[in-house]
Chain A
């Protein structure tokens, strides 16, 4: 599945990096980096990140 983050919304809260650290990571200067192509078996974790994001910045785009 494709993971999309709207960087106009992201405020580096880091909640996604806590629930799905293998997908999301706060890099240098606290700018979010993430894998945009994620194996299907991580869907539950990414959905949890979508739900946890205070800014509703994360979405899943199914192929």
Chain B
């Protein structure tokens, strides 16, 4: 019998600090695919679900596994805190569907394709400006800039203020990282997204833009939200959700995508030789990066998963980062393969009502970023080690110094 310490503690942010613990996830998939993970820091513990098929089952059955009862983060919150920070992602149907319908039509494949030329223009300008610097932080100059510039247009935020969104977002999502650490363990901020006071700054930003759009409507998402008859709280958390989900996730995928190409020169050469692989390479970068490691659900009723009894109100953490490397679903999951087909990764979610709203936009941004990076007669090498975000939730790279090489 393996001892309790045989398995990784997935509640420990430090376990993700040096690298994603892929080997530990492989052990869980093999030996304990529905594993009880205590939370030594005071939480009540959660079921860690690590196999692809089981994660799919959880997400496709919101009647059994709720997003709304306990929210989607692992934190144990009082009902009033859950209610106060509840955004679309923390709701079940029918409320989820009402909130999503407000903006859904702006993210369909057809709607997103309209942005292709603009995304390419943004990518060209951002990459050219960065390359001129010869040595720079790839995260700051490229992978954070392209998604934020594009999304500022779609949301309706002035370009002059986009870095402010990035900076607040970094503190919000870096709530477990000492560099940003704003999350407090006391109760003062538990009613706020990520238990972070930075959320208040994001709220204020969103309120100001929404107020401007009420006076002067435009064809953008902030106008839609401002006119939707949402309560102040609903508008606040909707803005936080869009401003972070539409920005940081794509950023980290682009950073990990570059890192993967630098670490796999054969795959880089393959992609250069055959640019038609851009779409499969994009999907593989999404699988490889898995920018969001997990989402939590809460069992609504007593149920059974792979023969394990899950009690009503138990926390269930579904680890996409593990599902994306499941040997039963992917051939050679540890191989970075820019031509991988099929590639049914769960980076946008494994199906169900919460499937990523911005999936098509993210794919467009990643594909065009790499098409433009690879089209130039320059390439990059690392000028120092990438600095990882301390987080068991987000697979973030804070900084990645690179220098420009002539090819």
A binding-site residues for B, Cβ under 8 Å:
11-14, 17-18, 26, 30, 48, 51-56
Report B-chain residues with C-beta under 8 Å of the C-beta of A54.
Answer: 348-349, 351-352, 355
Whether A17 and B109, one on each chain, are in contact in the complex, defined by CB atoms closer than 8 angstroms, is yes
B binding-site residues for A, Cβ under 8 Å:
60, 100, 104-105, 108-111, 342, 344, 348-349, 351-353, 355, 359-360
A6 to B351, CA, bound (A): 15
Residue of chain A at shortest CB distance from B363: A18
B109 in complex: contacting residue of A14, A48, A53, CB < 8 Å? A14
Min CB–CB distance A25 → chain B (angstroms): 10
Residue of chain A at shortest CB distance from B353: A55
Interface centre among B348, B351, B352, B360 (most CB of A within 10 A): B351
A11 in complex: contacting residue of B104, B348, B349, CB < 8 Å? B104
Residue of chain A at shortest CB distance from B59: A54
Whether B110 and A26, one on each chain, are in contact in the complex, defined by CB atoms closer than 8 angstroms, is yes
- By secondary structure, the B interface counts as loop
Report A-chain residues with C-beta under 8 Å of the C-beta of B352.
Answer: 54-55
Residue of chain A at shortest CB distance from B108: A30
Interface centre among A17, A18, A54 (most CB of B within 10 A): A54
Whether B349 and A14, one on each chain, are in contact in the complex, defined by CB atoms closer than 8 angstroms, is no
Of the A-B pairs whose beta carbons lie under 8 Å apart in the complex, a sample of 18, sorted by A's number, is: A11-B104, A11-B353, A12-B104, A13-B355, A13-B359, A14-B110, A17-B109, A26-B109, A30-B105, A30-B110, A30-B111, A48-B342, A54-B349, A54-B352, A55-B351, A55-B355, A56-B60, A56-B351
Min CB–CB distance B299 → chain A (angstroms): 20
Report B-chain residues with C-beta under 8 Å of the C-beta of A48.
Answer: 342
Min CB–CB distance A29 → chain B (angstroms): 8
Report B-chain residues with C-beta under 8 Å of the C-beta of A17.
Answer: 109
Residue of chain A at shortest CB distance from B279: A18
A30 to B108, CA, bound (A): 7
Min CB–CB distance B251 → chain A (angstroms): 23
Whether A52 and B344, one on each chain, are in contact in the complex, defined by CB atoms closer than 8 angstroms, is yes
A13 to B212, CA, bound (A): 31
Whether A12 and B60, one on each chain, are in contact in the complex, defined by CB atoms closer than 8 angstroms, is no
Report B-chain residues with C-beta under 8 Å of the C-beta of A26.
Answer: 108-110
Report B-chain residues with C-beta under 8 Å of the C-beta of A53.
Answer: 351
Contacts A11-B104, A11-B353, A12-B108 supplied; 12 other A-B pairs, CB < 8 Å: A11-B100, A12-B104, A13-B359, A14-B108, A26-B108, A26-B109, A30-B108, A30-B111, A48-B342, A54-B348, A54-B355, A55-B353
Min CB–CB distance A13 → chain B (angstroms): 6
Min CB–CB distance A18 → chain B (angstroms): 8
A53 to B60, CA, bound (A): 11
Report A-chain residues with C-beta under 8 Å of the C-beta of B110.
Answer: 14, 26, 30
Report B-chain residues with C-beta under 8 Å of the C-beta of A30.
Answer: 105, 108-111
Whether B108 and A51, one on each chain, are in contact in the complex, defined by CB atoms closer than 8 angstroms, is no
